[in-house]
Chains A and B, each alone.
Chain A
């Protein structure tokens, strides 16, 4: 592309082509945050289940706070490597999704801190929050697997209520695996397919 004047038709074609090119970028690599947070939640759930079950000491619930630590480090590394390998671009949808998860993240953190002082069923509430975030993300990017998995996550919030004991920690981990990791892999697969 150079600094030259255009015909009117060529102008319209250029505008359309540039807008389409920028739009494609929107879906690429969208699965990575789902994978980072999904795997972090799943493995930390297994860790908490193991220690609480083996020792009977509920102080091991402090390990849940490993999720924001692992997730934040993962996101930082992923963003840095993405910016290194390709030009940086941020579109409106990415900003909206970023804000949704920022609010959900703060709500989840506040709830977890609250649960450290007062005992209440925190896991169903977390599933509901994560399910809401996932469903809104799916609806925003118009991607069915994410919408469906988000609804599954929301619906699953009743399971830990029904289930007694430490088993609900495992259920929480498995639901997060279904709700975040599976759609994350599908999103990445679709992204790779577009580039072939």
Chain B
């Protein structure tokens, strides 16, 4: 039986952002932009969506005179990510291998 894929994570950019954040403690906006190659506007919209779902925490601060947005995955985000990967496995029939 196929598990349903979380639509919030089943999008290229949001999944990319979540994959970065699950492998690090925290990352700022510039790092996410470097790694995903997406535009700043697009990333802003997507991290806002992830934050509204409670999957990530966004902290805005300052680095010298510039603003710095630091993102961090939450436990809810980790759970959602793990469920998503489990669902993917059921689609690809690699579960239990």
- Say whether B42 faces chain A, with CB atoms less than 8 Å apart: yes
Q: Are B29 and A92 in contact (CB under 8 A)?
A: no
A residues less than 8 Å from B33 (CB atoms):
87
CB distance from A170 to the nearest CB of B (A): 40
Q: Are B28 and A89 in contact (CB under 8 A)?
A: yes
One of A6-14, A39-47, A53-61, A138-146 at the interface:
A6-14
Determine which of B10, B23, B30 lies in contact with A19 in the assembled complex, contact meaning CB atoms within 8 Å: B23
Closest to B45 in A: A3
Q: Are B23 and A22 in contact (CB under 8 A)?
A: yes
Binding site for A on B (CB under 8 A): 5, 10-16, 19-20, 22-38, 42, 45-46, 63-64, 68, 70, 85, 88, 91-92
- In the bound assembly, the distance between CA atoms of A70 and B2 in angstroms comes to 59
Binding site for B on A (CB under 8 A): 1-6, 8-12, 14-15, 17-19, 21-23, 25, 80, 83-84, 86-92, 94-95
Closest to A91 in B: B24
B residues less than 8 Å from A89 (CB atoms):
24, 26-28, 31
Q: Are B16 and A1 in contact (CB under 8 A)?
A: yes
Q: Are A14 and B15 in contact (CB under 8 A)?
A: yes
- In the bound assembly, the distance between CA atoms of A92 and B72 in angstroms comes to 12
Determine which of B12, B22, B30, B42 lies in contact with A87 in the assembled complex, contact meaning CB atoms within 8 Å: B30
- In the bound assembly, the distance between CA atoms of A15 and B97 in angstroms comes to 19
B residues less than 8 Å from A86 (CB atoms):
30-31, 34
B residues less than 8 Å from A84 (CB atoms):
63-64
Q: Are A18 and B16 in contact (CB under 8 A)?
A: yes
Closest to A95 in B: B25
Closest to A16 in B: B19
